[in-house]
Structure 1
Amino acid sequence: MRVLVLNSGSSSVKFRLLDPEDPAYLVNGIIERIGESGSRIRVFFDDEEIEHVTDIPDHKAGVIAAFALLSESGHDPRHSNIVTVGHRVVMGGDLFTKPVVVTDKVLDAIRELSYLAPLHNPANADGIAAVRIALPDIPQVAVFDTAFFADLPEPSRTYAIDREVATRYGVRRYGFHGTSHDYVSHRVAEFLDRPYESLRQIVLHLGNGASASAIAEGRAVDTSMGMTPMQGLVMGTRSGDIDPGVMTYLSRAAEMDATDLDHLLNRKSGLRGLCGHNDFRELTDLVEAGDPDAVLAYEVYLHRLRMYIGGYLMLLGGADTITFTAGVGENAPKMRADALSGLEWFGIEIDPERNALRSKQPRIISTDSSRVTVLVVPTDEELLIARAALSVTQ
């Protein structure tokens, strides 16, 4: 029951060959900085690592190069007893609220939905197309990021615009990073040995893309991303929340058309727009060196994050847990401490020693006296995707 999982982000692809019953086993890897300088592929297996630095212009080229590297290392996917391939697909719209086997019609629909997720759905579709070439006889399954938020309460998913226009063009909040929020929120309940439906949870998925969610009584009640993955928190290259009037102003003052504005807000904003760097590790180094642009970018990032945390505390009527996950959330202890500083009045107290601990395991970083349990839980979207893929193909 081996499953190959591809998890395509805006500038990376994580891939993993696993048995869902023994997920720590077999092979995993990552294609990093796609379309940027310093692109590389890393493959991990049997306590070994192979790294290949090369130009990777797009996601399809990255997947093809990764397959070649796997074959060279003796882990050819064509001879690994794979029964299905699971893909994280960012945007399912109203069409897809559950995992589906990929057909030509499904693949076309994924591409058509790219206007709602221009950084991701094309990459997801290219990954599927690349696997079709390499593994033509293996069924592929699309697992949609938006599915976890498909039943957001109506006040949460509704924008205050003309209802007829919204209905005609599908304008609503869809939410993203659902596979991560789904996995992490259930893992929190399991780790704490608490019923999932009993917990009021805030989950903070912080990576190059970033999102927050509020979960109560076993369902997501709000999330920071909206109709597209651009809304919400400050991200690596995306602006997050912005006054819509900025776009109409720039269309007049700077004569920017829709393509220009999309490029600006998706690829030249966020941390990169503020300080020239979208890698949080580089940002942290610059902050420590006192770079003024980096310091401002970090402060803007924190300001937006704290606003969402505060808003969700109000929405939920308090929280039982706050959980950090994804690349930045799992590996930036100073950011975690800064994000929750001064919130003792809300019952949130961080233990500095626990917060400084680095581990790949779920862990509590709050004090024993904290009324809100604060955790770091490594996300495992690939395991959730593998299990979902098997559920519709076996």
Structure 2
Amino acid sequence: MNIFVINAGSSSLKYQLFKMPAEQPICVGLIERIGLSGSIINHKVFTGGQEKTVREELDLPDHQAALQEVVKLLTEAGTGVIQDPGEIDVVGHRVVHGGERFSDTTVITPAVKEQIKMLFHLAPLHNPGNFQGIEVAENLFHKATQVAVFDTAFHQTMPEKAYRYAIPASFYTQDGVRVYGFHGTSHKYVAAKVGEYLDNPEAKVITIHLGNGCSMAAVKAGKCIDTSMGFTPLDGLIMGTRSGAIDASVVFYLASKLGMPMEQIDNLLNKKSGMLGLTGSSDMREVQKARAAGDPDAILAYEMYAYRIQKYIGSYAAALNGVDALVFTAGVGENDALTRELVCQNMEYLGVHLDQTRNAVRNGSLREINTPESPAKVLVIPTNEELEIANQCCQLLAEVR
């Protein structure tokens, strides 16, 4: 089964093609600057144990033009891995927000598309781009089954006590104001890997997704019971440019006392805060260099970043009544040994004992970084959201058929 996975952003398009059940993609790609001059395509093909890379720079005015270029690369001599777009059996789409309506992977119908459009206001930066990707793919891969995989779906198993806010109930019942959580595809993928690795389907796991966006989840027996992002992806951990959890009164103060318009406050907390606001850079590699050079802002930022994660670990250990494994994943989680070291300090009370030598190793595969005698496992697991989407598409179609 040929499954083509699409992750469409407002000006970008990530994609992978899987020939399932093989879990290694036969091609991967990223298109950036869609709608701007000088759009960039990076396309990689894996055949016969070899890798071939194509990099192009051209003007792509919209997602239609971008996907048409992808189809060309998929089918033409030299880069082609299929003969015709009709060979694609399924197109799996990452959709960021599914609200309460979508708790499972779903075949896309006109009714489903209308529901996704109705959720634009909950994810204005993401859902419109996801929707555009669906509409373009329907035209180009007209024989394929179109499937939506929602970032919020994994968190729909949270109990009401975890997802409700302590505000009048009408804001939830009428307006949908509640915790939704995000990065669900990543959390689901790594949590399943932990269960397999520990051979314990009932495992109590805390998954820690650290990239430019950061979130955590408390997972018991493969089900999410709490997560750090909330109504939007702004809540929770300190991130690359987002503040994470902050006293709501700060917003009132910025508006009423400093005279900042709401749009400017929104931009401040989402795009100018986090590590960028603390240090001047949202790139953890740059912050780490500054820290090593003795920059006090970078030193403090790392301490704050790790401390916020530690606080969530403590609360999630309480929610789970213990913890069998901590899991670090995504760009920072997988590659930043310093972050993992700082997070695991003073965690002996939870049975967490980090092995410094193991922690320093980078090998791109699932690995333990705890000491042999550590009661709790500390794992690094590379996430693979595209593979998780492909797997969920396969499972859904198997159930339908």
1:268 to 2:272 alignment = yes
Q: Tell me, what secondary structure is at the counterpart of 2:148? A: strand
Higher relative contact order structure (alpha carbons within 8 Å, sequence separation ≥ 6) = 1
Percent identity of paired positions between Structure 1 and Structure 2: 45
1:174 to 2:173 alignment = no
Range 48-57 or range 268-277, more displaced: 48-57
Range 44-53 or range 62-71, more displaced: 62-71
What amino acid is aligned across from residue 104 of structure 2 in structure 1? K
* Residues 61, 352 of structure 1: alpha-carbon distance in 2 compared, 3 angstrom cutoff: farther
- CA deviation string 1:50-78 (max 9, x = no partner): 33467889877765655555556334684
Q: Distance in 2 between matches of 1:280 and 1:41?
A: 25
* Residues 80, 352 of structure 1: alpha-carbon distance in 2 compared, 3 angstrom cutoff: farther
**Aligned-pair CA distance for 1:156:** 0.6
1:224 to 2:251 alignment = no
Q: Is the 8 A contact 1:64 1:130 kept in 2?
A: no
* Residues 331, 163 of structure 1: alpha-carbon distance in 2 compared, 3 angstrom cutoff: same
Residue equivalent to 2:111:
105
Unmatched 5+ residue regions in structure 2?
none
RMSD of equivalent CA atoms: 2.9
Q: Is the 8 A contact 1:191 1:362 kept in 2?
A: no
Residue equivalent to 1:20:
20
Q: Is the 8 A contact 2:74 2:82 kept in 1?
A: yes
Q: Tell me, what secondary structure is at the counterpart of 1:357? A: coil
Q: Distance in 1 between matches of 2:62 and 2:85?
A: 26
Q: Provide the TM-score with structure 2 as the length reference.
A: 0.88
**Aligned-pair CA distance for 1:101:** 1.9
* Residues 223, 371 of structure 1: alpha-carbon distance in 2 compared, 3 angstrom cutoff: same
Q: Provide the TM-score with structure 1 as the length reference.
A: 0.89
Range 149-158 or range 290-299, more displaced: 290-299
Q: Tell me, what secondary structure is at the counterpart of 1:22? A: coil
Q: Distance in 2 between matches of 1:114 and 1:201?
A: 32
What amino acid is aligned across from residue 45 of structure 1 in structure 2? V
Q: Is the 8 A contact 1:325 1:376 kept in 2?
A: yes
* Residues 57, 216 of structure 1: alpha-carbon distance in 2 compared, 3 angstrom cutoff: farther
What amino acid is aligned across from residue 14 of structure 1 in structure 2? K
Q: Distance in 2 between matches of 1:62 and 1:279?
A: 28
**Aligned-pair CA distance for 1:332:** 1.1
1:325 to 2:304 alignment = no
* Aligned length in residues: 392
Q: Is the 8 A contact 1:43 1:70 kept in 2?
A: no
Give matches, 1:283-322, under 5 Å: 283-322=287-326
**Aligned-pair CA distance for 1:363:** 1.0
1:155 to 2:146 alignment = no
Range 4-13 or range 382-391, more displaced: 4-13
Q: Is the 8 A contact 1:283 1:294 kept in 2?
A: yes
- CA deviation string 1:2-24 (max 9, x = no partner): 10012356886432100231011
Range 211-220 or range 384-393, more displaced: 384-393
Q: Distance in 1 between matches of 2:12 and 2:333?
A: 17
Q: Is the 8 A contact 1:101 1:141 kept in 2?
A: yes
**Aligned-pair CA distance for 1:34:** 7.8
Q: Distance in 1 between matches of 2:57 and 2:292?
A: 28
Q: Tell me, what secondary structure is at the counterpart of 2:341? A: helix
Q: Distance in 2 between matches of 1:240 and 1:331?
A: 21
Q: Tell me, what secondary structure is at the counterpart of 1:169? A: coil
1:346 to 2:346 alignment = no
Unmatched 5+ residue regions in structure 1?
none
**Aligned-pair CA distance for 1:346:** 2.2
* Residues 307, 85 of structure 1: alpha-carbon distance in 2 compared, 3 angstrom cutoff: same
Q: Distance in 2 between matches of 1:345 and 1:39?
A: 51
Q: Is the 8 A contact 1:39 1:55 kept in 2?
A: yes
What amino acid is aligned across from residue 91 of structure 2 in structure 1? V
Range 37-46 or range 376-385, more displaced: 37-46
Q: Distance in 1 between matches of 2:167 and 2:9?
A: 30
Q: Distance in 2 between matches of 1:168 and 1:156?
A: 19
Residue equivalent to 1:142:
148
**Aligned-pair CA distance for 1:186:** 0.9
Q: Distance in 1 between matches of 2:242 and 2:72?
A: 32
* Residues 80, 234 of structure 1: alpha-carbon distance in 2 compared, 3 angstrom cutoff: farther
Q: Distance in 1 between matches of 2:16 and 2:204?
A: 31
Give matches, 1:73-88, under 5 Å: 73-75=79-81, 78-79=84-85, 81-88=87-94
Q: Distance in 1 between matches of 2:235 and 2:229?
A: 5
Q: Tell me, what secondary structure is at the counterpart of 1:359? A: coil
Q: Which has the larger radius of gyration?
A: 2
